Amino acid sequence: MNDEIEFDWGRTARIGIGEAVLCAGKSEVQIRAIVEQVLARGARCLLTRLEPELAASLPMLDYHAASRTGFVGENVACPDAAEICIVTAGTSDAGVAHEAARTLAFHGAASTMIFDVGVAGLHRLVARLPEISAHRVVILVAGMDAALASVVAGQVSSVVIGVPTSTGYGAARGGETALSAMLASCAAGLSVVNIDNGFGAACVALRHLQRFKD
């Protein structure tokens, strides 16, 4: 069974982002073997897309149900001040936002989370713009028409990362409409990751923070 697992233990030293394992598509036996190898080495690992039922059989994890993420190994303390703000258009986008926040926390980066300020109620967003713009990096999580990304990216000087989500009815096409809208945005400098990829957005944010500190 161990022959199926090949860790990248040098990733942190190489790019500043730690080892992470996508649990979707892996069996309980495989995930348990992964956790055991990490613990035996005294290392750390982030598990993503880990369902609650499986997490319950792995009590050694620091598990967060809303984000479906688990931490293996010692936690890293986060600073009180957050340089990254995670903003969602709707409450339905919260799971993806939490995945981003947990990925950041695993790497010792704090984040401010602002929920449910989509442009359908523009006054909610306008009231929070000063707080949002105070952060070096902003992660925008939105489904349906994903208009939030263009609006915020046109109002703040922060690095802005868009995360399209699969939230929405028929024509939303499982997030493809949101992805296309973000990619076609006229807001200059908006970066976009894949559908529902809160993990990927957090990794982009971490790379930016590393450059700020260099």
d(CA 200, CA 50): 16
Residue-wise pLDDT tens digits, 11-55: 888 888 989 999 999 999 999 999 999 998 889 999 999 999 999
Token pair for residue 185?
Answer: 């945005």
pLDDT at residue 212 above 90? no
Tally of CA atoms within 13 A in the half-sphere of 67 that contains its CB: 24
- How high is the pLDDT of residue 60? 76
Instruction: Dump pLDDT digits (tens) for 149-180.
Output: 999 999 999 999 999 999 999 999 999 999 99
Question: Which domains can be identified in the chain, with CATH numbers?
Answer: 2-72 (no CATH), 84-213 (3.40.50.1970)
Q: Which residue has the tokens 């609006």?
A: 151
Point out which residues pair with 111 in neighbouring strands. Answer: 84
Per-residue pLDDT for 130 more than 70?
yes
Please check the confidence at residue 2 and state whether its pLDDT lies above 70: no
> Following DSSP, what letter does each residue of 38-74 receive, concatenated?
HHHHT--EEEES--HHHHTT-TTSEEETTTTEEEES-
> What pLDDT is stored for residue 10 in this prediction?
84
pLDDT given at position 1: 46
- pLDDT, position 59: 72
Contact 58, 70 (CB under 8 A): yes
Instruction: Categorize the per-residue pLDDT at 72 as very low, low, confident or very high, splitting at 50, 70 and 90.
Output: very high
- Please give the share of the chain, as a percent, with pLDDT higher than 90: 78
The chain-wide mean pLDDT, for the chain, equals: 92
